[in-house]
Structure 1
Amino acid sequence: MKVVVVGCTHAGTAAVKNILALHPEAEVTVFERNDNISFLSCGIALYVGGVVSDPKGLFYSNPEELASLGATVKMEHDVTEIDVQAQKVKAKNLQTNEAFEVAYDKLVMTTGSWPIIPPIPGREAENILLCKNYNQANVIIDKAKHAQKIAIVGAGYIGIELVEAFVESGKEVTLIDGLDRILNKYLDQHLTDILETELKERGVTLALNESVSEFKADDQGKVQQVITEKGSYEADMVIMCVGFRPNTDLLKGKVEMLPNGALIVDEYMRTSNPNILAAGDSTVVHYNPSNLKQYIPLATNAVRQGMLVGQNLTEERMAYRGTQGTSGLYLFGWNIGSTGVTKTSAALNNLEVRAVEFEDNYRPEFMPTTEKIYMQLVYEADTHRIVGGQLMSKYDVTQSANTLSLAIQNKMTVEDLATADFFFQPHFDRPWNYLNLLAQAALAQM
């Protein structure tokens, strides 16, 4: 059996390892246009901020490992065309320009995503950068040595983490976003208000509810100003973090996709062509809170889906359990966890919900220290099914987002969580765990 894998970051690496473990007889050929694999882009801000001094730790595999497992790895090779009828891919060696074809029995598309670049006038100016892969991270670090005023466009996780990294490095930072709140996809307003106050106190200029209309450059062609409909901001470096789009042009018109190009897969990671499987940032996920197909590019989704490609390459062995889009963030001492829908995003998922806000100390006040936790639980109004949750504290409560994620995946209700069995020990929590108390606050609200 000949297997061709196109793209090898998170989903591709997981797919190759699992295919070779379960199908040692398979002839696996991997095409990757970059000179590295498995880079943890979620660690870019740590690398940029100097928290991670050796970037080798941000790679958890390498071409040599995949080759030792039995794969033929073609680094710095670009797949230029896919003939789904003849089941062949055309590829080009980017170093030599040699072009050739490879036949396949099964094709695995793990081509990932690429940053969205809005058509803003002046975007060709020097020092307007993207933040996705290892090479871009190195460019950001190099350019930042000579930049003092840095504008971040996009207030999602990547943008926020870069803000922290540059503030800690002594830079003047402006954060620009077209929405009226930071982290709009992950947190509701009572939590983002706290974080926005923190950013302002640390000297960050917040330009929210503003869209970039133009970049202006100096006489040397380097970016000098970022113009929005409400003002202008000086910047000698700009990083665009406005989102990602799936890299799926090779299969356009050949398999079913969402309007944004994300490949539609079934629970066994198969596209509408049964000989083409897909995983990671190039595909949809099954979003459990709403039971809808969504595009949620996260490394966690990618590695799970990549594993399932190996499991289901030739037969239906393990179905995808879906995702809640669970995520965590550390920002200026705040530990933040989020899963499922927010009260704001529920309507976009065709959900009628109620939400309860709750604050409590994570452990008894008679202990030498404690910290306040800010929480929110989102649940369906009629069924009381839990569909989202958020937690934030100076104490690390982020693992509780994983607990809420399981609650959503297993369709637990508010009543289930209100009396769930959690241990009590004063070092760690109260007789009622704070998640119990959060759900009990929802019961009281009902």
Structure 2
Amino acid sequence: MKIAVIGSTHAGTAAVTNMAHLYPEADITVYERNDNVSFLSCGLALYVGGVVDDPQGLFYSSPEQLRELGISMRMQHDVKDIDTINQRIEAVNLVTGEFVTDYYDKLVMTTGSWPVTPPIEGIDLDNVLLAKNYNQANTIIEKAEHADHVTVVGAGYIGVELVEAFEKSGKRVTLIDGVDRILNKYLDAEFTDQVEEDFRHRGIDLRLGETVEKFEGKGSVQAVVTNKGRIETDLVIMCVGFRPNTNLLRGKVDMLDNGAIKVNEYMQTSDPAIFAAGDCCAVKYNPTGGHAYIPLATNAVRMGTLVARNLMRPVLKNVGTQGTSGLHIYDWNMASTGLTETSARLLGVHVKSITINEKHRPEFMPTAENVQLKVSYDPDSRKVAGAQVLSKADVTQSINTLSVCIQSGMTVDELGFVDFFFQPHFNQPWNFLNKAGLAAAQ
């Protein structure tokens, strides 16, 4: 059996590692356009900020390790065409220019995503950079050495992490986003307001509710022009989001409007010979029951593993995702899962919410930090639909607990009486998760 895998970051690496063990007789070939595999882009800002000294720690595999498993690794090969009728691949060796033709019995699409690059005048100027892969991270580090003022466009996770990294390294920093607040996809306003206040206190220039109209400069960027003003800058990092990298299968398998590949519970596309996993495909979103595009490394490694398990026959279903994620910025620990009030409103879903503010442990302890927790739930079924937490204490694991609650269909009333331990070093006799459930029941 010939298995072809296109792309080898999170999903691809998970898929081929498992396939090598499950199907030792199979002929497995990986096509990867980069010279590396498995780069943890979620650690990019830590690398740029110098928190991670050795970048090799951001790779959890290598082409050599995969070759040792018997996998044929065609690195720096760019796939140009997929003939799904004849099950044929055409690729080009980016080093030699040689064209390669290959065939497959099973095709695994793990092509990931690529940063969105809006058609903005001047975006091709030098020092307007993207932030996704290892080579781009190295370019950012190199260019930042000579920059006094850095502008980050996009206030999602990677954007705000880079803002922190640059500010800590002594740069003047501006953050631009077309939405009127940061992290709007993950947290509601009462949470992001506190983080924004901290940013402003540290001298970060927040330009929220502004859209970039053009970049100015002679050869290299010198200014960003928005709909509300002009910002002189030495370096621009574009972090405005990601799009699924699926042009190779456009019109050949079912996709969402944004190009994300639709898969069934066994990670199979509408073409029975093709499976997909990771940032290139949509995933079952448990809070709504529909398909959603949620490009997270956690989703990718799970889906890649499921592809390997289900490649020969359907044996293990994908249980779906809640889009659970967390972030540490300055002194703040924050995490979310499922629907926020903001995301529910955008999806046309009606939820009710309860917000509590509690100390994370008894106040007789040397320190006791405030915990702000918001739990959203369906007003009819009363099932937990989402949650958000913010604290200077690390209580983010509570969101993993609430992710399980959503996946298992727990009601907010049941949450009030879940058995959680009490120990003064860690929590209160009534856990703050219990208290949210009790408050919602009143």
User: Do both proteins adopt the same fold according to a TM-score greater than 0.5, normalized to the shorter chain?
Assistant: yes
Letter in 2 for 1:164: E
TM-score, normalised to structure 1's length? Answer: 0.98
User: 2 CA distance for matches of 1:235 and 1:357?
Assistant: 40
3-state SS of 1:360 partner: strand
What residue number does 2:242 align with?
244
What residue number does 1:187 align with?
187
What residue number does 1:408 align with?
406
Letter in 2 for 1:49: G
Counterpart contact for 1:280–1:305, Cα < 8 Å: yes
User: 2 CA distance for matches of 1:418 and 1:328?
Assistant: 23
What residue number does 1:33 align with?
33
What residue number does 2:343 align with?
345
Show the 5 A alignment for 1:11-30: 11-30=11-30
Counterpart contact for 1:290–1:350, Cα < 8 Å: no
Q: Does 1:383 align with 2:385?
A: no
Q: Does 1:96 align with 2:96?
A: yes
What residue number does 2:300 align with?
302
Identity over aligned pairs, percent: 59
Show the 5 A alignment for 1:117-266: 117-217=117-217, 219=218, 221-266=219-264
Letter in 2 for 1:52: V
User: 1 CA distance for matches of 2:351 and 2:334?
Assistant: 22
Show the 5 A alignment for 1:39-78: 39-78=39-78
Q: Does 1:323 align with 2:321?
A: yes
Residue by residue over 1:72-99, the C-alpha shift from the partner in whole angstroms, topping out at 9 and shown as x without a partner, is 0100011111010111101111111111
Counterpart contact for 1:284–1:296, Cα < 8 Å: yes
Segment of structure 1 superposing worse, 56-65 or 362-371: 362-371
Counterpart contact for 1:213–1:229, Cα < 8 Å: yes
How far 1:20 moved relative to its partner?
Answer: 1.2
User: 1 CA distance for matches of 2:204 and 2:355?
Assistant: 27
User: 1 CA distance for matches of 2:205 and 2:26?
Assistant: 54
Letter in 2 for 1:132: K
User: 1 CA distance for matches of 2:341 and 2:318?
Assistant: 26
3-state SS of 1:346 partner: helix
How far 1:425 moved relative to its partner?
Answer: 1.1
Letter in 1 for 2:258: N
User: 2 CA distance for matches of 1:359 and 1:97?
Assistant: 61
3-state SS of 1:254 partner: coil
Unaligned runs of 5+ in 1: none
Counterpart contact for 1:130–1:239, Cα < 8 Å: yes
What residue number does 1:440 align with?
438
How far 1:441 moved relative to its partner?
Answer: 1.9
Q: Does 1:334 align with 2:326?
A: no
How far 1:390 moved relative to its partner?
Answer: 0.5
How far 1:350 moved relative to its partner?
Answer: 3.4
User: 2 CA distance for matches of 1:55 and 1:257?
Assistant: 35
User: 1 CA distance for matches of 2:354 and 2:414?
Assistant: 16
User: 1 CA distance for matches of 2:423 and 2:261?
Assistant: 47
User: 2 CA distance for matches of 1:331 and 1:390?
Assistant: 15
What residue number does 1:418 align with?
416
How far 1:418 moved relative to its partner?
Answer: 0.7
Superposition RMSD in Å = 0.8
User: 2 CA distance for matches of 1:442 and 1:257?
Assistant: 39
How far 1:122 moved relative to its partner?
Answer: 1.2
User: 1 CA distance for matches of 2:379 and 2:126?
Assistant: 51
3-state SS of 1:216 partner: strand
Counterpart contact for 1:286–1:322, Cα < 8 Å: yes
Residue by residue over 1:256-307, the C-alpha shift from the partner in whole angstroms, topping out at 9 and shown as x without a partner, is 1111111000010000001000000000010001111001110000000000
User: 2 CA distance for matches of 1:304 and 1:138?
Assistant: 28
Counterpart contact for 1:154–1:176, Cα < 8 Å: yes
How far 1:378 moved relative to its partner?
Answer: 0.7
What residue number does 2:396 align with?
398
3-state SS of 2:341 partner: coil
User: 2 CA distance for matches of 1:350 and 1:4?
Assistant: 40
How far 1:369 moved relative to its partner?
Answer: 1.5
Residue by residue over 1:26-57, the C-alpha shift from the partner in whole angstroms, topping out at 9 and shown as x without a partner, is 11000000000000000010000000010000
3-state SS of 1:345 partner: helix
Unaligned runs of 5+ in 2: none
How far 1:348 moved relative to its partner?
Answer: 2.7
Structure 1 stretches of 4+ with a deviation exceeding 2 A read: 347-350
